[in-house]
A and B are shown apart, each in its own frame.
Chain A
């Protein structure tokens, strides 16, 4: 109990302490996950729309694979990226293992199925109607895609936030490919693991509270969007 109370106290003093290391940890978490969402969005949203609406051979299989990958264990995504980026692996010449770049790659791998999957599910029913309307109004291919994105912006927005949430709160992948290097690849979740391992439970809880609060804010907005 004492630890939890100290954690709350610690969380407040962490946020207002002006401690550069803490800010850099929080900042890196937000930044890495934000970039991951941006990158993933660029191809996952169009992919979701296309898979959701088009008929093509093996479509059912593709949908099944995406749905399965939505539950991809983070540490497996991390291990996969690790083996590719290791100097003895096929992409080892890049030399980006244990950098934020590697963390972004792992997170993109992790959240793309989620963004694709949610987008796919949301356009499935009403998408064709929107598409046909746009088509009869004389829209070209790119314009149709754009209209669809605009029309389904709410659920696409939700998918992005879900992806962001997954990315910023997972620990297995970033621990493995980032290496939890102090001041370089240490993010909130890996810092929590480290503090826990060192027995600094109050510090771990404090960072956890910061993470939860950020997520709480994001969720309020998400709910408003969905409720509106």
Chain B
């Protein structure tokens, strides 16, 4: 009996040791401990939406920033609603989100400063290939019309239902169509874009998605694009610095550099190039002014 007890402790210790090894290496490269390069910045917390992370954009462009300033960017990918809340509470230094009206309100309320447009992509309505509601023929590029057809036919529609930028946009469209979406056919999933697309795929439901997430997952999905190109479905991403005067401990310097960096010509080009090789089209179109 004692032997096993000792064995357990031993094993747990080995786990701890093993885990201490490699886990340390990719830890944040604390800029303070390195030979100071041009401007040592503390780690930056970026609150952003699931779409920028799930699409792989951030993985593609952030190493450039981290190398340039020998710092690290801690990406917390949540819905736009939660990202804004993190900004309000001072739990992030900079936000990269997509809900223009809410963003402007956020800045006007004094929670954020210095907002810039960064890039856009567009929303699309996707659905099962056989298109039971016949959106493709009847709705054309009219998103509001497409939604009214969906609600008239009571075909299943998956909604993010998580107060994210995409969810807000979807609600705007329902409003434009003059419909209060309710009923068994309207399924509020309460999860990220990827999870919602998987859900729609399994349930053969329609859903509204940003193009980037859809394209990055299209290999795994049987859903096809049915409605696209409506101006209402324009999806603008903005970057906002969290107001450093509201809370102590905000990495102001880091946020300043980050915003400068992401709207620079060089990075805008990187955004434009992202995804071209794999999908034959840009996932995001840069438009910083």
A198 in the interface (beta carbon within 8 A) = yes
Whether B12 pairs with A182 at a CB distance below 8 angstroms is: no
Whether B249 pairs with A95 at a CB distance below 8 angstroms is: yes
Among B245-270, those with CB < 8 Å from A are: 247-250
- Residues in A with CB closer than 8 Å to B197 are 199
Min CB distance A82 to B, Å, is 9
Min CB distance B190 to A, Å, is 12
Chain A residue, CB-CB nearest to B85: A86
Q: Number of A interface residues at 8 Å Cβ cutoff, please give it.
A: 48
**Bound-state Cα–Cα, A228 to B89, Å:** 53
- Residues in B with CB closer than 8 Å to A180 are 76-77
A73 in the interface (beta carbon within 8 A) = no
Known A180-B77, A197-B50; contact A154-B5, beta-carbon cutoff 8 A: yes
- Residues in B with CB closer than 8 Å to A196 are 194-195, 198
Whether B72 pairs with A184 at a CB distance below 8 angstroms is: yes
B221 in the interface (beta carbon within 8 A) = yes
Select the residue from B4, B54, B59, B90 with max chain A CB neighbours within 10 A. Answer: B4
Whether A181 pairs with B54 at a CB distance below 8 angstroms is: no
| Interface stretch (choices A18-26, A115-123, A137-145) | A18-26
Neighbour of B198 across the interface among A157, A161, A199, CB < 8 A: A199
B27 in the interface (beta carbon within 8 A) = yes
Whether A183 pairs with B26 at a CB distance below 8 angstroms is: yes
| Interface stretch (choices A28-36, A54-62, A125-133) | A28-36
**Bound-state Cα–Cα, A142 to B83, Å:** 50
| Interface stretch (choices B13-21, B101-109, B125-133) | B13-21
How many A-B residue pairs lie within 8 Å, measured between CB atoms? Answer: 127
Min CB distance A23 to B, Å, is 4
Known A198-B217, A199-B220; contact A30-B16, beta-carbon cutoff 8 A: yes
- Chief secondary structure at chain B's binding surface: helix
Neighbour of B54 across the interface among A24, A198, A221, CB < 8 A: A198
- Residues in A with CB closer than 8 Å to B74 are 98, 179, 181, 184-185
Select the residue from A21, A194, A214 with max chain B CB neighbours within 10 A. Answer: A194
Chain A residue, CB-CB nearest to B217: A199
Min CB distance A198 to B, Å, is 5
Map CB proximity to B onto A54-93 as digits: 1 under 8 Å, 0 otherwise.
Answer: 0000000000000000000000000000000011110011
Whether A217 pairs with B54 at a CB distance below 8 angstroms is: no
Q: Number of B interface residues at 8 Å Cβ cutoff, please give it.
A: 48
- Residues in B with CB closer than 8 Å to A198 are 54, 194, 216-217
Among A1-24, those with CB < 8 Å from B are: 20-21, 23-24
Whether A86 pairs with B22 at a CB distance below 8 angstroms is: no
- Residues in B with CB closer than 8 Å to A20 are 22, 25-26
Among A92-106, those with CB < 8 Å from B are: 92-93, 95, 97-98
**Bound-state Cα–Cα, A15 to B238, Å:** 39
Whether B23 pairs with A27 at a CB distance below 8 angstroms is: yes
Binding site for A on B (CB under 8 A): 1, 4-5, 7-8, 11-12, 15-16, 18-23, 25-28, 45, 50, 54, 59, 72, 74-78, 88-91, 191-195, 197-198, 216-217, 220-221, 247-250
Binding site for B on A (CB under 8 A): 20-21, 23-24, 26-31, 34, 37, 86-89, 92-93, 95, 97-98, 153-154, 157, 161, 164, 179-185, 194, 196-201, 214, 217-218, 221-222, 224-225, 228
A-B contacts besides A27-B19, A185-B74, 7 pairs, CB < 8 Å: A21-B26, A86-B91, A88-B91, A179-B78, A183-B28, A184-B28, A197-B193
